Copies of this chain bind each other. A is one copy, B any other.
Amino acid sequence: MKINKHYMDIEETYLFSEVAERVRKFMAENHGAALIKMGIGDVTRPLCPAAVEALIKASEEMGTAEGFHGYGPEQGYEFLRDEISDYYERNCGVKLFSDEIFISDGAKSDLGNILDIFDVDNVVAVTDPVYPVYVDTNVMAGRKIVKLSATSDNAFLPMPFPGLEADIIYLCSPNNPTGAAYDRQRLQIWVDYANEHGSVILFDAAYESFISDPDVPRSIYEIEGSRSCAIEFCSFSKTAGFTGVRCRYTIVPAGLVRDGVQLRKMWLRRQTTKFNGVSYPVQRAAAACLKDAGHKQIMENIAYYKENARIMAETFEELKWPFTGGKNSPYLWVRCPGGMKSWAFFDDLLSRANVICTPGAGFGECGEGYVRFTSFNTHDNTIEAMKRIREIFS
């Protein structure tokens, strides 16, 4: 019996445990300090009424002989895939076939599991800073990883460079953690690169519903040539507050063929073999969030978070702190004032403003000197946090 030794190569991420530890220590020494958490990576607004209603209705159905649903299709129910297909057409003019859409239970699941269909002997390109899951899932399999620096020099949007040899390319736009988003022109360059090199782009569009800028595509399939090189991952987690409900979808276009094989068919085979489909009531709730009434409700929640982002952006502009994100994203990636390092600024903000952010250094080497703020707190707390920051740093 041999274990998978590559697991020993995964670097332990101490980012969030270290944040928790420093906060714990601070609170032990400063009883009663009114902390405001501006590093929250999870939504906080309750589920919209349409989703709750659909969950309840489907749960009731399941208790009746006529309405009971057993095993569903591994790829997801047709009613939800049709809803998603309509949503793409309305949202960004992209036409998808129902059999290109795969419903699953979560971002991490699909982003990790998709690697099953690729050989271990592929070079993977990720950005730095990066969502750690892209790296860890490939380290676990023993793949070689190259890092593309996201810095102020490239507006935090790394581009292909001469000599880059990447088989699998992760792009997250709008980005976690930087909040930067690729415009059409930049994304076209990546799509052209992938088609020329036979690479596959894994496009994480988890934050598409935060996009305001008309130049920023909501789906990679708005870009010419993308249907022969890109897989798109999208989610109800941030769009509809489903982080605790669990539903997402992955698009594998029919035109995406490598080594003479449709990747859509390989993914279908992977899913029918290693997945049982998403909970029926959950799929009903997801579908409800894409229909008129539900969609209006979820966009109100998005607007709530975006207003928080606006308040923060206004503050950082006033303070002349360079930052990216906030406009098309719930995240703001802020340069630490006075050339401070990430953890030093984290400590300073914690002790003087009692505000918690996330040190950028935890997301990769290029994150050093930055911190991440998120817009998932309440208006009141966001306003209060910004007031404290303004008073201290003005």
Contacts and interface: CB of A to CB of B under 8 A. Distances in A.
Most chain B C-beta atoms within 10 Å of own C-beta, residue among A10, A44, A277 = A277
Interface string A279-307: 11110000000000000000000000000
B43 A70 contact: yes
Interface in A191-220: 197-200
Interface string A246-266: 100000000000110101001
Nearest to A265: B7
Interface in A71-108: 71-72, 105-108
Given A244-B68, A279-B245, A117 B3 contact: yes
Nearest to A117: B4
A118 interface: yes
Contacts of A137: 273-274
Contacts of A259: 1-3, 5
7 contacts: A1-B118, A2-B119, A7-B269, A56-B56, A68-B241, A112-B275, A245-B279
Closest 4 CB pairs of A and B: A112-B274, A106-B276, A2-B119, A52-B63
Interface of A: 1-5, 7-8, 10, 42-49, 51-52, 55-56, 59-60, 62-65, 67-72, 105-109, 111-113, 116-119, 121-122, 133, 136-137, 140, 167-168, 197-200, 241, 243-246, 258-259, 261, 263, 266, 269-270, 273-282
